[in-house]
Structure 1
Amino acid sequence: MSATPAETPQVLNPEQVVRGLHPLMMAGSFILSLAVTLQYVGQWRLMAWAFGLSVLRILANVLLSKVFNRWLAPNTVEWIRMVCNVSGVAGIGLIAGWSLLLWIYIPFAMLWIFGMEGQSRLRALTYLVLMDTTALLSGADPFQPVAFTLLAVLIFRLTEKRAELLQQSLEHIIHQREQLSQAQGQLRVLHERALEQEKFSSLGMMAAGVAHEINNPMAFVTSNVHSLFKDLQQEPVLPAPLKEYVDEVLPATLDGIKRVNAIVSDLRRFARGDPEAYAEYDLNAEAEAAMRIAQGQLGHCRVEVALGEVGLLVGRPRQIVQVLVNLLVNAGQATGSTGVVRLSTRRQGEGVCVEIRDTGAGMTPETLRNLFQPFFTTKPPGMGMGLGLAVAHGLITGQGGHIQVESEPGKGSCFTLHLPRVAHRAALSSNKSQGVTLAAG
């Protein structure tokens, strides 16, 4: 069971930054205002002006943050706040003089003005220009605005850079968590599909065992029915009911037994898990075996078979049957009760072709692009793992062939297997040994 990832942190927007810093900035502004006011103790008129302007400035900031921000845009609120702060601080400087405590407002204001929105730099520049211009025009020592302006710029840039780095770090953490969540999801899906694959492997082994167990009693049934049929044929005179058995019932019974034996043999060969060696095989016989195995998925529709003279091939026949069974089952599942599934074989140049065509639902271009990707499937849950066509593609290309697909939504699909007469790997190994002889088709 995979662990549920922790809730992903959200990236802070500029408004959240301002709201988070507001209590601390208000406390800092109050402390600085108190310090500026107290420096004029004994000069009561100047102290009253400093106190009054500081109170008005702080009150304006509180109203902007608590009241006017409901009706005004955040950017507009910050511009008005900046004007109020410049007016309050510059007013104290013009009336009471530009003391060092008053100049501390300049770098402190940079911390307030700073934000992640685009106009914070413009507001900071406007604030510095207004403060420096007012101070210089009022006769302040020019070294004071220059020194504190440089300090303010450095503080603003350092704060801005630190925020950018923290933002990048947070975004990186969020991206990593998203990747981890996706990887956990993919791992969970792969685990479920591995369990399904293991289940199918177990079912295949069970099918091989059942087929083996059926094979023994069917041998007795075949032998006994065949002996009965021969004995009755040798009788010169038979009653009418027994004659009907000899002429119709027993031949039909033997034909049915032959079909059952063929299906059992196909299942045993199909379900074997041991490595398959290259061998000479009859493609049409393997196609008929695949039809018998897949007939349970084709009983609802009309099936047409057109096997041409293709001769013998060299390759891995059990893999060919596996591919054909998969394609036939897919065709049957995609085709309705009034549809047609057609299996045909033919020669094509130096190789042969196996064509499986259906009149089913067809596929979209997007489905065609992902058709042979492992675990890609359009079937409902429990109907397929998305491995069949990927495995089929690997088996066919492994023998030197390729698969061609044509499909259109609503008009069915056509899978064409192009196979060499001698599988490429078999041809390479045959050159080193005694060679391979093909019978004429």
Structure 2
Amino acid sequence: MDARPTQALLEADPEQVHQGIQAIVGLGPAVFNLALVAWFWGQWRVMFVQLGVAMVLAFSNMVVAEWVAARLGRSVAETARILVNVVGIAVSGATAHWPALVWIFVPYNLLWFYGMDRWVRARAAMYLVLVDVVALSTGAEPGMALAFSLLGIFGFVLSERRASLMRGALNQVLQQREQLEKAHQEMQQLHQRAIEQERLTSLGMLAAGVAHEINNPMSFVTSNVNSMLRDLRDEQHLSETMKEYVDDVLPATLDGIKRVNSIVSDLRRFARGDPEAHVGFDFDAEVEMALRIAHGQLSHVRVQKELGGTGTVVGRPRQIVQVLVNLLVNAGQATAPGGVVRVTTSRDESMVRVDVRDTGTGMSEETKRHLFEPFFTTKPPGEGTGLGLSVVHGIVKSHGGHIEVESELGKGTCFSLRLPLVPLLLAYEPSSDGGMRRRTS
């Protein structure tokens, strides 16, 4: 989980606390000063000194401290404020001979020192030591100084501990919120993936049904054209026009019909939704099939193929075709008219390799880093789900292979797939001693 938002909020918390308690902080001294005025009513010199100190401290705490904080920082402002308060309490206490109503300012100030910065404990200690030194040197009763100093110390510790626990609780709440947001995003992704999977399944069923419906009339067309060509070839006396049909038109028509039949057959096998077992298949033949299926997306480019006679590979051929079709369609969409899409295959002792290279727009390093992540796409909204390459990656991994990509902006892209001739899980079988041994057949 990214802790930066949480840390930023916690760092901002002291200043927010300071702003939030300013009104209450100002209310306490006002009440204490009114009590002092009432207590010393009639002792005019003492009363006016207390009023003067109260006004100076109020102005210093509310106005001067904020002015200094805005220009020099909260830490400097707090240090200056404390020194002014020490002077004010010293004047007030020395004038009134340190009654309890003056001492009450000491623990009160210590209650709200926590939360400004890391120097708060040092300032609190400085404040308490200076007040006690001045008080004892000006005739304050030691017992009174000790009592209110202890009260201030424990009040400070308790308020600090309470604030620390509250910040810890806030941190936990923020972490839980981020975890919930992450879980919500994952649920949305799963929901979107389920919707896309359902849509793709429906499209596959529809494609298989359409292919089946096309297959029946194409069987009649194939049979009828074959019969027509055979009958015309048996005729001895044909006009020049009919000879042209026999020699050129009908054979070309049959080639076109065969191509349609091949596409229909490929589509039926590709769209079939039943589970597929590992079987041996001609890898180059599946590459040819993928090229036929993706032909519509490659019609604007020159397709070059160099099939290296890879022979038989064990795997799930329909999934391999799905991988190749996806890569070919992406290559066609990334390549401008007149560009080149090149497909090559090769084989070594244990692996088969296929490269799909294009002369298209290429990809940036940032795009390559996220290429196989689910729902990542660079296509405009409505033109891509971001599932294609993540599915490709999953299929290749499930076959025990790996996929690499080389790309540079403006210079095209090359996807390289390496697949084992036999997936690792199928290359071994249980042995009589309870272990695994390589299959012999």
State the TM bucket, normalised to the shorter chain.
0.7 to 0.9
Q: Which whole-Å CA distance do the structure 2 matches of 1:254 and 1:121 have between them?
A: 94
- Tell me: CA distance 1:179–1:122, structure 2 relative to 1, closer, same or farther (3 Å): same
Count of aligned residue pairs for this structure pair: 423
Alpha-carbon contact 1:430-1:436 (below 8 Å) kept: no
The percentage of aligned residue pairs carrying the same residue is 52
Q: Report what 1:5 is aligned to.
A: none
Matched, 1:323 2:323: yes
Equivalent residue number for residue 4 of structure 1: none
Cα offsets for 1:357-396 (capped at 9, x unmatched) = 1112223334333333333333333333232223223323
Alignment of 1:142 with 2:142, yes or no, is: yes
Indicate the residue corresponding to 2:341 in structure 1.
341
Preserved CA contact (<8 Å) 1:363 1:409: yes
Question: Which deviates further from its counterpart, 52-61 or 273-282?
Answer: 52-61
> Could you say which residue in structure 2 is the equivalent of 1:195?
195
Match of 1:283 in 2: 283
Structure 2: gaps spanning 5 or more residues: 1-7, 433-438
Partner of 2:385: 385
Q: Alpha-carbon deviations, 1:74-118, whole Å to 9, x = none?
A: 545544543443333322322231223322221112125444234
Residues 1:181 and 1:277: Cα distance change in structure 2 (over 3 Å): closer
Aligned amino acid, residue 328 of structure 2:
L
Residues 36-185 of structure 1 aligned to structure 2 (within 5 Å): 36-40=36-40, 44=42, 47-64=43-60, 67-68=63-64, 71-73=67-69, 75=74, 77-185=77-185
Shift of 1:141: 2.5
Q: Which moved more, 1:174-183 or 1:130-139?
A: 174-183
Q: Which is worse superposed, 61-70 or 226-235?
A: 61-70
Q: CA 1:198 to 1:175, structure 2 compared with 1: closer, same or farther past 3 Å?
A: same
Q: Deviations over 1:234-264 (max 9, x none)?
A: 0011011111111111000000000000000
What do the CA deviations read for 1:7-41 (whole angstroms, capped 9, x no partner)?
xx966544443333233233322332233344446
Residue number in structure 1 paired with 2:306: 306
Q: How far apart are 1:66 and its partner, in Å? A: 5.2
CA distance in 2, matches of 1:110, 1:33: 18
Quick one: distance in 2 between partners of 1:23 and 1:430? 79
Kindly provide the CA deviation profile for residues 195-251 of structure 1, in whole angstroms up to 9, marking residues without a partner as x: 223212211110010000000000000000110010001001101111111111100
Q: Could you list the runs of 5+ residues in structure 1 that have no partner in the other structure?
A: 1-8
**Conservation of the 8 A alpha-carbon contact between 1:93 and 1:102:** yes
Q: Report which stretch shifted further, 63-72 or 98-107.
A: 63-72
- Relative distance call for 1:53 and 1:175 in structure 2 (3 A) is farther
Report the TM-score, using the length of structure 2 for normalisation.
0.87
Q: Which moved further from structure 2: 163-172 or 218-227?
A: 163-172
CA apart distance, 1:315: 2.5
Q: Is residue 49–residue 92 contact of structure 1 (8 Å, CA) maintained in 2?
A: no
CA distance in 1, matches of 2:322, 2:196: 18
The residue identity in structure 1 corresponding to 2:47 is F
In the alignment, is the contact (CA less than 8 A) between 1:298 and 1:329 conserved in 2?
yes
Q: Return closer, same or farther for 1:112/1:271 CA change in 2, 3 Å cut-off.
A: closer
What TM-score, normalized to structure 1? 0.87
Deviation per CA, 1:105-156, whole angstroms, max 9, x where unpaired? 2111212544423443343223222211112112333232223212211111
Change in CA separation of 1:401 and 1:214 when aligned onto 2, cut-off 3 Å: same
- CA RMSD, Structure 1 to Structure 2 (Å): 2.7
